[in-house]
A and B are shown apart, each in its own frame.
Chain A
Amino acid sequence: MSGVASPAAAGSVSDIANAVTNGERSAVSVVDAHLARIDDHEGAVHAFNLVTADAARATAAAIDERLAAGEDVGPLAGVPVAIKDNMCTRGVPTTCSSKILDGWRPPYDATVVERLASAGAIMVGKTNLDEFAMGSSTENSAFGPTHNPWQLDRVPGGSSGGSAAAVAAGFTPLSLGSDTGGSIRQPASLCGVVGVKPTYGAVSRYGLIAFGSSLDQIGPFTTTVADSALTMDVIGGHDPRDATSSTESFGSLVDVLDRGVDGLRVGLISEMTGGVIDGIAEDVLARVRAAAEALEAAGATVGEVSVPSSVYGLPAYYMVAPAEASSNLARFDGVRYGLRVDGPNTAAMHTASRTAGFGPEVKRRIMLGTYALSAGYRDAYYGSAQKVRTLITQDFDRAYADFDVLLAPSSPTTAFELGAKTADPLTMYLNDVCTIPSNLSGQPSMSVPFGVGDDGLPIGVQILAPLMGEPVMFQTAAVLENAQEDAS
C-alpha cells in the first residue's frame, strides 16, 4: 500500500510567512492551495475531524486586507495551521475525538490558539486524535483512525496522529499537538516530521482539555526545526491564566539555530539504546547511533549515560496519568455541555451519559486511575509513582551534570499496521517507553526525522535537554537536520 506523504508540499512556515508578508503571495491563495491538497488526500488520510474551510478563507481575506492597509500581521502571516482537536477553539466544535463532547462549541479560545491567530496564522481545521489523547496510534478515536501518509495501512502514531499526519501529508506546514507521554514525539517519528514537547510550563495549557495535568504540554509539528523554533517563539512564554506556566524565558529559539554543536557533550541514554528496555527495534537503534555519530562529526563529544530509574517510567506513568485523568474527566457528566443520556435521577443520568460517551480506552484509564487513587491503594500506586518521578528527575539531573543533551529513540519501532496492537492495551502502552521519562520529569525533548527503517518508513531521533534547555535542544536538532539532509 502506497502513501501520499509529501511534507514539502505544504511549503515551510517561514517561506509562506515571508511570501505573504512581502506580498508575493496572498494569504487567500495560500489557504486555497492547502485546502485543495486537503480535498485531494484527506479521504485517504483522515487527519481532520473538521476542516474549517470557510472560516479559513475569511480569515485569509481579512489578513490580505490588513496587509494591503500596511499593517504588521505577525511572524506567521498567512500560515495555515491545524489544531489538535483537544484545544478549545471559540465557536468551533472541539471533540477530543469523543462522543461525550458531541456538539460542544467552546465559548473561548485556548491561549495557543489566540497566540497563533494574533501572529497571523490561519486555522484550517481540527485534527484527529486518540480519544482524550489516550493512545499511541490514533485508533482510539470515535471518528475512526487516521492513516499514516507514508503508507496508508500504517498508523500515524498517537495520540496527536492527526496533527502529525496533516504535516506529513503536506496539508499544513504547521500543526499543534499535545504530549502527555509521547503524544507529539512518537507520531512525529512515525510520520517523519519534527515534533517538540517543551519544558512543562513553557507553553500555556489554558484551553488544552486536560488528560494528565502534571504531564500535558502543547508543542508544534513542522517539517523543519526552524519552523518549530519560530512557532515556539509565538506560542511560548508566560500566561497568567495558567498557574503552572513558567515565569522565566529561554529567549528566542530562532536565534540559536546556527550555533552548532562544537564542544557540546551528547549522552546516549544507555537503558534505551542497549537492551535494558526491551522491544526497541534494531533499525531504530541504528539510526540513533548514526545521529550520535553525525553530531560527533559536527564537533560534539559523545558518551553513554545511565538514567537507571527510567525503567520505572512506564509503571509510574500508568498510575499518574490515569489518576489525574480520572479526576479531569469526571466533569463529563451530561449536565453542562456535550452528550446527555437521560435517566430517572441525576446519578443515573451521569452514569448513562458517561457509559455511552466514553470509548473503551478512556474507560480503561478512568478505571485504572480511580483505582490508583482509591482508599487503601493511593499510597502504593499514585503515591509511589509520584516518588518515582522524583527519582527519574534526579537521575536526569545527574546525567546533565556531565552532558548538555541526551539522545534516545522517539519510538521503539517505525509505524505499525492499523489494528496490530489494539487487542492488547499493554503492548500499545510500550510505545511510550522512551518518551515517558521526559513527561515525568517535565524536561523538554523533541523528535527529529533521521532516516528510515528497514521498511522504508521514517524514524525520528529524540533529543532530550534539561529544564528550560530548549535552546541547546534546538541547536542540536538543527545540526542533526542538516546532517540528515547531507546524507540524503
Chain B
Amino acid sequence: MSKLSRDDVAHVARLAMLELDDAEIDAFTEQLGSVLATADDMAALDLDSVVPAHHPLGLVNVMRPDVVQPSLDRDEVLAQAPAAEDGRFCVPPALGEQ
C-alpha cells in the first residue's frame, strides 16, 4: 500500500465531518500510517479464494412480520433534541453561509 499522506488524512477528516488542526493531522498521519502498515501484513496471505466473513451462526432471512408496533411519544423524543419547533427537529439551513 502507498504511504498515507497529510492530504489523505485531511480528505478523510472531511468525509468523517471532523475538523483537525495541523498538529492533529500530523499526529494522525503518523499514527494511522503505522496501523495501516500492520494491516499491510494481511497482503502476505492468499485471500483470493477466501469468502468474507458473514454471521458466525450462518443466520439468513431473519425478518419480522409486517405488523404495527407502538411508536414513541413525540414530546419525549423532541425533549432530547438540541432544538425543536412545531413538532419537528430544528437545524441550521442546509446551505447557509460557509
Contacts and interface: CB of A to CB of B under 8 A. Distances in A.
A–B contact with Cβ pairs below 8 Å: the answer is yes
Contacts of B57: 199-201, 246, 248, 442, 467-468
B13 to A, nearest CB: 7
B31 A342 contact: no
A347 interface: yes
Interface string B6-42: 0011001101111110001000100110111011011
A102 B81 CA distance: 11
Contacts of B12: 367, 370-371, 374
Contacts of A377: 1
Interface in A440-473: 440-443, 467-468
Interface residues of A, number: 77
A316 interface: yes
Contact of B59 (A201, A318, A364, A374): A201
Contacts of A368: 32, 35-36
A387 B98 contact: no
A385 to B, nearest CB: 7
B86 interface: no
Nearest to A355: B19
Interface in A339-376: 339-340, 342-352, 354-355, 358, 363-364, 366-368, 370-372, 374
B87 interface: no
Interface residues on B, range: 35 or more
B43 A345 contact: no
A426 B62 contact: no
Given A368-B35, A391-B45, A467-B56, A107 B51 contact: no
Contact of B97 (A340, A345, A467): A345
A314 B51 contact: no
B43 A380 contact: yes
Contact of A312 (B45, B53, B76, B95): B45
A144 interface: no
A329 to B, nearest CB: 9
A243 interface: yes
A400 interface: no
A336 B64 contact: no
A404 interface: no
Interface of B: 1, 4, 8-9, 12-13, 15-20, 24, 28, 31-32, 34-36, 38-39, 41-43, 45, 47, 50-53, 55-57, 59, 62-64, 72-73, 76-77, 80-83, 89, 91-98
24 contacts: A105-B80, A107-B72, A107-B76, A107-B80, A243-B59, A247-B59, A309-B45, A318-B38, A347-B17, A348-B92, A351-B18, A354-B18, A355-B18, A363-B24, A367-B13, A368-B32, A370-B12, A371-B36, A384-B42, A387-B53, A388-B42, A388-B45, A425-B31, A426-B35
